[in-house]
Structure 1
Amino acid sequence: MQEFFRMIINTVKNISIWSVLDILVVSYIFFKGYMLIKETRAEQLLKGIILILVLIPISYLLRLDMLYFILSKTITIGVLTIIIIFQPEIRRALEHIGRTAFEDIHIIQDDETLDRVVTEIVTAVDNMSYLKTGALIAIEQSTGLGEITSNGTELDAKVSSGLLENIFVENTPLHDGATIIRNDRISAAGCVLPLTSNNNINKKLGTRHRAAIGLSENSDAIIIVVSEETGTVSLAVNGRLTRNYDRDKLKNILLKIMINRRSKRVKTIGERVKAWIAKLKIKK
């Protein structure tokens, strides 16, 4: 026992500031990784892996040779299997890292333009909700939606409530897909979105709601859904769907999300260079 405590004391004495930094970085990576897979099917897999890792040394110490052989071989081939099965979760994690590491280019920077665009969207949604016109609108943020817009019809039109309402008029060519808004422009309409693979969502939700959740799981886009059955307005953000928005509540939450994301954006290299040049000029 004394030898054990002596070893711990020696280890603590030899810890440097870089060792502490290393531990903190690794801890942060594990924490963010867990938050990304929390409440997903990957969380259950992680629990299974931890159980296997615990059983391997136990089976070895108890000389359960057959169990030890099976578990060790399972771990050996399990890494490739995990990559194949959980490719969507891995992609989502890498996209999340990319969003947080580099600046977005699709969030409106001007307050007046942002307020106008949000007002037009909210007006259209409110009118369609009253008329029970089904709608699916995705507001692009830092994750580019080029793959999504490419399967729809390109518009590149100024955002207006009248145009948005006209797009979703029943039996028109573009009403059954999603409309993508990039900056202050309607980029495309009639786009097909990926459906969520989450089996725990409400079974009463239709294809539009499942598509909204699916896109929000794979990007940081803000997706608005209007139910054609009830007129209920829903919002999908970061894989979560919230419902029953009225005009004022929807406008407030959209502005809050977009302004908050804009304030946290990371400056591009170009902006940093410009700022550095500006400082040099001031010093001169």
Structure 2
Amino acid sequence: MLIKSFSNISIWSILDILVVSYIFYKGYMLIKETRAEQLLKGIVLIIALIPISYLLKLDMLYFILNKTLTIGVLSVVIIFQPEIRRALEHLGRSAFDDHYLNNREDFNTIINEITIAVQNLAESKTGALIVMEQSTGLNELIGAGTVLDAKITSNLLENIFVVNTPLHDGATIIRNNRILASGCVLPLTSNNSINKKLGTRHRAAIGLSEVSDALVIIVSEETGVVSLAINGKITRGYDKDRLKLILTKVVENRNQKRVKTAGEKVRSWIKVKTER
């Protein structure tokens, strides 16, 4: 019987199982170590208890669990709207990304200017918040700040964050080789497990990295410590060389993905033309 069952499985059935498994895996990775992960565990527990309560004829418990599950679906959408938005943005990244630096010389120059500015700001303990936009567009934040659209230089970045100047207290957003805007207000994270010693600047950096794929550089005005926030996580204690290495890897990885995507689009276009 078992052998007969396996013989009826087609290649499409196996493909179907693999695709569904991959979707569930990616879905879990998106909510891992977030509030949604704990909620998912609660939903699984309720689903497991429903048939048990039915078999044991626990009518009241069965009724309550059924209603809880029905209402819970709507509650999940409302309560975890930020996580759902992040998941959808994650799915829409890369394939539609049109922003990238044209050559190694361009991004080496940009990274050098940024790292020099960050080092000088850290040495003088000048607070700073620098956002490097990637695939997720940040136009809504840029529009709310002061638009500069200026060439990236270390001197300009340092001057922006001079204390008591109009733009020093917000974030500066960089897209490719341009400083697009300064004085931008970022969304604060609602993660309560973050170190209480981290101030508003760090919480804003983490908050933006939770809802986008931006890389955010933070310089503490109290200690001069340089930190990076990306994908909802923050790491601290960067020196100039380590920061330069991380930024180079991020930009190179993004450009490689963009070139690969462009190549795939060209190959697809050629194939369509040939078939016609």
Q: Residue 103 of structure 1 contacts residue 268 of structure 1 at CA under 8 Å; is this kept in 2?
A: no
1:121-270 map, 5 Å: 121-265=114-258, 267-268=261-262
Task: Identify the residue that residue 87 of structure 2 maps to in structure 1.
Answer: 93
Task: Identify the residue that residue 46 of structure 2 maps to in structure 1.
Answer: 52
Q: Select which of 94, 108, 112 maps to 1:115.
A: 108
Aligned in 2, Cα 1:243/1:54: closer, same or farther, shift over 3 Å?
same
Percent identical pairs in the alignment equals 68
Is 1:105 the counterpart of 2:98 in the alignment?
yes
Is 1:63 the counterpart of 2:57 in the alignment?
yes
Q: Select which of 9, 15, 21 maps to 2:9.
A: 15
Aligned in 2, Cα 1:276/1:123: closer, same or farther, shift over 3 Å?
same
Structure 1 residue 79: deviation in Å? 1.0
Aligned partner letter, 2:48: V
The alignment partner of 2:186 has SS state of coil
Listed one character per residue, the Cα deviations across residues 235-260 of structure 1 (whole Å, up to 9, x for unaligned) are 11111101110111100110011111
Is 1:26 the counterpart of 2:20 in the alignment?
yes
How large is the Cα RMSD of the aligned pairs?
1.9
Q: Residue 226 of structure 1 contacts residue 233 of structure 1 at CA under 8 Å; is this kept in 2?
A: yes
With the length of structure 2 as denominator, give the TM-score of the two structures: 0.94
Aligned partner letter, 1:69: F
Structure 2 CA distance for aligned equivalents of residues 12 and 74 of structure 1 = 38
Instruction: Name stretches of at least 5 consecutive residues in structure 2 with no aligned partner.
Output: none
The alignment partner of 1:25 has SS state of helix
How many pairs does the alignment contain?
272
Listed one character per residue, the Cα deviations across residues 171-205 of structure 1 (whole Å, up to 9, x for unaligned) are 00000000000110000000000111111110000
Aligned partner letter, 1:267: T
The alignment partner of 2:60 has SS state of helix
Structure 2 CA distance for aligned equivalents of residues 12 and 229 of structure 1 = 65
Q: Select which of 11, 34, 44 maps to 1:40.
A: 34
Structure 1 residue 112: deviation in Å? 0.3
Structure 1 CA distance for aligned equivalents of residues 40 and 111 of structure 2 = 41
The alignment partner of 2:261 has SS state of coil
Structure 1 residue 77: deviation in Å? 1.7
